[in-house]
Amino acid sequence: MLRLNEYLKEQFGEKVYKIALNGGFTCPNRDGAKGDSGCIFCSSGGSGEFAGDPSFSITEQIERGKKRVAGKYTGNSYIAYFQAFTGTYAPIERLRKLYSEAMAHPDVVCMSVATRPDCLPDEVLDLLDEMNRIKPVWVELGLQTIHESTAAFIRRGYDLDEYDRAVRELKKRGIQVITHVILGLPTETKQDLKDTVSYVVESGADGIKLQLLHILKGTDLADEYLAGKVKVMEMDEYIDVLKDCLALIPDDMVIHRMTGDGDKRLLLAPMWSADKKRVINAIEKMLRDSTP
């Protein structure tokens, strides 16, 4: 199993810290192009609660991010991570300005852009290709599930074919692809989750993020949860599902995440996930026990 920290040390020679940025983007699922309410689980911050303040420049956000981690990180290598909302959904010249500023920072060794598969037109793909010739570029695609009924419930707003096309076009340009999968979406069985992970493995993605479903205040999913229509996983259940999903991932695919943090100010459930140390310890124990 290839975990992110090991991979980064192999690639860059030291531990690398990710700085979450906010480029002031929106999303076609919010601005009326495809919808106006966003995905059912997405917060008002566009999954960027830990990202920088968009009122600051990208350079300023990077410097502020470095200061925040200075007490626990002594290295000099950072990933500029455009995390909030849809990181390719803007006019091309604005994207060029934001990406170029991130790439120009001397301590940035890689740029990662979180986006939707349906927000990668040819001109954006070509811009990412151009940036990738300067420093490595990763594109993180929010797939979440391969199952049509679940995708409709969460209001994802694009078909699976869009994901396949995005992976194909990005790989054609030599750009690394990381696919986001949510474990614990309503009505999905363990087999459904395993089918999604297997599909991602076969899709050609270079990395995968396995994210526990969080119920966040202010989301439409929170309304469903409070009405008793949605259940969340208990920790033992999540660890069991995670174990089965990890067994499907080949050794050369980078595992970027095995759980995830919800903003404690917004988190409604599952509350056990707020005890990060306990969750990590449980995952590490599962991994040790699973090793032959």
Q: What class, spelled out in words, does domain 2-290 have in CATH?
A: alpha beta
Nearest partner of 19 among 139, 141, 89, 109, judged by Cα:
109
Radius of gyration (C-alpha) of the chain in whole angstroms: 18
For residue 41, the tally of other CB atoms under 10 A from its CB is: 23
Check residue 148 and give its pLDDT.
96
Check residue 46 and give its pLDDT.
62
What are φ and ψ of residue 65, in 5° steps?
Answer: -65, -40
Nearest partner of 230 among 142, 154, 173, judged by Cα:
154
- Residues 6 or more apart whose Cβ sits within 8 Å of residue 259: 210, 211, 212, 238, 242, 273, 279, 280, 283
Q: What is the 3-state secondary structure (H, E, C) of 203-221?
A: HCCCEEEEEECCEECCCHH
Domain residue extents for the chain: 2-290
Check residue 45 and give its pLDDT.
67
What are φ and ψ of residue 173, in 5° steps?
Answer: -95, 5
CA distances from 97 to 91, 139, 234 (A): 10, 17, 44
Check residue 154 and give its pLDDT.
95
Check residue 152 and give its pLDDT.
96
Q: Which residues of the chain have pLDDT under 50?
A: none
pTM, two decimals, is 0.95
Where do we find the tokens 């192009």?
33
